[in-house]
């Protein structure tokens, strides 16, 4: 009997010990394992996120101090939305806030969108950058036989037409129909043969619309919607005054300074040269545009198209004040609808835009796979500072990382 009790007790203790060992070794009772190490991409993403609190704090202070009524900013990194922020209201004196779908006028940033559209159409062999305008439009006449015969689509898109700067902008601002302006081109003064000098144009850039209609039987507005806005999901974008005026979610234009801005009436200037300055878009639209440009695997805007539109065509000497808020800009050139500047050892594709009551800024650095856009309905220096302040911070971070990596590499070699 004693042996039986001993045997039962032994079995019980053995089962109890085994059970405890199982519990102690189960996943729920072990010390939590360390998380898997971050990938290189995740580390880069976390580092860029560290820049935004300081940048947003700076931008908020600038907006408040300047009296800016409404604005929006977005940063795209490696084809993804990294940061977006909306500020203020659509109209002074109202509580209606700017949101991601509030539409602003892009003004001359429209040229960058047109440049991309032209790159897509050239890649599809719908247009040829080096085809002469006179071969497409036999009625095309300038105040020079050389310029008339030799002018190409490339010249229109790169501001190398040879006409004096801003020829007939006064007619554009006076709402003269483009057809009447076109008939007066032969009276415009010529300063150089095509392709020789940079001379900023809205009227000649706007001629792209007429050429596209001849080539495709569709106007610029139809083509940019078909080829860019719809595929990229730019649902708020448009290219005419009526669409902008009738949009309930639009930012109203303002004029002023010294911290006080007042709303001014909507105006339809420059819509008659839509490829040059007629695009309306929200910050949501512009983030999609930048993502399309910066995504390596984007089928719509591939590497060949990017190379085509970002290849500099001409030096573009600008006044010293143009980049007054940037550090030293090493060179300034113009490509296909984009300014190309060498800045802090990188090539930046950039464009700014201004039309009464609105200012826009856009820049991308393909090498670093980053882009930034700023839109406002209160033109002032905040817009001009918005891009260089961020790029300076971003490039500084990148340069420090590079220096540390090089130092580690040198040390390991020793």
pLDDT in tens, 254-281: 999 888 999 999 999 999 999 999 999 9
Output DSSP code: residue 76: E
Task: Output the CA–CA distances (angstroms, integers) from residue 185 to 13, 159, 164, in the order listed.
Answer: 104, 15, 11
Residue 344 · residue 395 · CB < 8 Å: yes
Average confidence (pLDDT) over 145-155: 97
Rounded Cα distance, 174 and 189, in Å? 20
Percent of all residues in the chain with a pLDDT value above 70, rounded to a whole number: 88
Task: Output the CA–CA distances (angstroms, integers) from residue 322 to 115, 137, 314, 329, 361, in the order listed.
Answer: 21, 35, 17, 11, 13
Per-residue confidence band for 408, with pLDDT thresholds at 50, 70 and 90: low
In the predicted model, is pLDDT for residue 140 greater than 90? yes
Rounded Cα distance, 284 and 282, in Å? 5
| Residue whose structure tokens are 């600008």 | 318
CA-based end-to-end distance of the chain:
78
Q: What pTM does this model have?
A: 0.89
Q: Based on C-alpha coordinates, what's the Rg of the chain?
A: 29
pLDDT in tens, 290-345: 999 998 777 899 999 999 999 999 999 888 789 999 999 999 999 999 999 999 99
pLDDT in tens, 50-87: 999 999 999 999 999 999 999 999 999 998 999 999 99
pLDDT in tens, 90-117: 999 999 999 999 999 999 999 999 999 9
Q: Which of 335, 289, 348 is nearest to 309 (CA)?
A: 335
Domain annotation for the chain: domains and CATH numbers: 41-92+100-413 (3.40.710.10)
What is the structure's pLDDT at 384?
96
Structure tokens at 28: 């729920």
- Residue of higher predicted confidence among 285 and 9: 285
In the predicted model, is pLDDT for residue 180 greater than 80? yes
What is the structure's pLDDT at 7?
47
Percent of all residues in the chain with a pLDDT value above 90, rounded to a whole number: 81
- Residue of higher predicted confidence among 258 and 180: 180
Mean pLDDT of the chain: 91
| Residue whose structure tokens are 């878009």 | 281
What is the structure's pLDDT at 188?
95
What is the structure's pLDDT at 33?
58
Q: Rounded to the nearest 10 degrees, what angle do helices 110-123 and 303-310 cross at?
A: 130
Rounded Cα distance, 194 and 67, in Å? 44
Average confidence (pLDDT) over 4-19: 48
Residue 163 · residue 201 · CB < 8 Å: yes
Per-residue confidence band for 3, with pLDDT thresholds at 50, 70 and 90: low
Measured over all CA atoms, what is the biggest interatomic distance in the chain, rounded to whole angstroms? 126
Residue 381 · residue 279 · CB < 8 Å: no
In the predicted model, is pLDDT for residue 371 greater than 90? yes
Output DSSP code: residue 324: T
What is the structure's pLDDT at 257?
85
In the predicted model, is pLDDT for residue 21 greater than 60? no
What is the structure's pLDDT at 302?
92
Rounded Cα distance, 88 and 357, in Å? 15
What is the structure's pLDDT at 414?
56
Rounded Cα distance, 296 and 257, in Å? 42
Per-residue confidence band for 285, with pLDDT thresholds at 50, 70 and 90: very high
């Amino acid at each position: 009997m004693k042996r039986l009790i001993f045997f039962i007790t032994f079995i019980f203790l053995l089962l109890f010990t085994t059970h405890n060992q199982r519990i102690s070794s189960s996943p729920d009772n072990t010390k939590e394992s360390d998380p898997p190490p971050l990938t290189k991409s995740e580390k880069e993403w976390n580092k860029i996120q560290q820049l935004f609190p300081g940048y947003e704090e700076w931008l908020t202070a600038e907006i408040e101090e300047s009296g800016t009524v409404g604005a929006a900013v977005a940063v795209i990194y490696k084809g993804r939305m990294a940061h977006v922020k909306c500020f203020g209201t659509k109209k002074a004196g109202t509580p209606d806030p700017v949101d991601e779908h509030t539409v602003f006028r892009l003004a001359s940033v429209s040229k960058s969108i047109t440049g991309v559209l032209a790159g897509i159409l050239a890649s599809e062999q719908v247009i040829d950058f080096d085809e002469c305008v006179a071969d497409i439009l036999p009625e095309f006449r300038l105040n020079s036989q050389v310029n008339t015969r030799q002018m190409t689509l490339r010249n229109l898109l790169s501001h190398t037409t040879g006409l004096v700067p801003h020829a007939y902008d006064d007619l554009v601002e006076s709402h003269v129909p483009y057809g009447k302006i076109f008939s007066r081109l032969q009276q415009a003064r010529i300063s150089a043969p095509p392709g020789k000098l940079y001379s900023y144009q809205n009227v000649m850039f706007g001629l792209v619309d007429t050429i596209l209609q001849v080539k495709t039987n569709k106007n610029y507005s139809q083509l940019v919607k078909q080829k860019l806005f719809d595929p990229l999901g730019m649902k708020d974008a448009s290219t005419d005054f009526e669409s902008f005026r009738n949009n309930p979610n639009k930012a109203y234009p303002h004029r002023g300074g010294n911290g006080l801005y007042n709303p001014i009436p909507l105006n339809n200037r420059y819509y008659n040269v839509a490829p040059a300055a007629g695009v309306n878009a929200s910050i949501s639209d512009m983030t999609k545009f930048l993502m399309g440009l910066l995504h390596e695997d984007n089928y719509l805007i591939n590497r060949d198209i990017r190379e085509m539109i970002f290849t500099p065509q001409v030096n573009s000497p600008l006044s010293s004040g143009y980049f007054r808020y940037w550090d030293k800009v090493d060179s300034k050139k113009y490509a296909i609808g984009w300014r190309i500047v060498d800045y802090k050892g990188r090539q930046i594709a950039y464009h700014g835009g201004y039309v009464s009551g609105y200012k826009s800024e856009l820049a991308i650095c393909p090498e670093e796979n980053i882009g930034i856009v700023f839109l406002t309905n209160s033109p002032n220096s905040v817009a001009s500072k918005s891009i260089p302040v961020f790029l300076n911070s971003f490039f500084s971070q990148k340069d420090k990382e590079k220096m540390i990596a090089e130092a580690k590499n040198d040390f390991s070699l020793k």
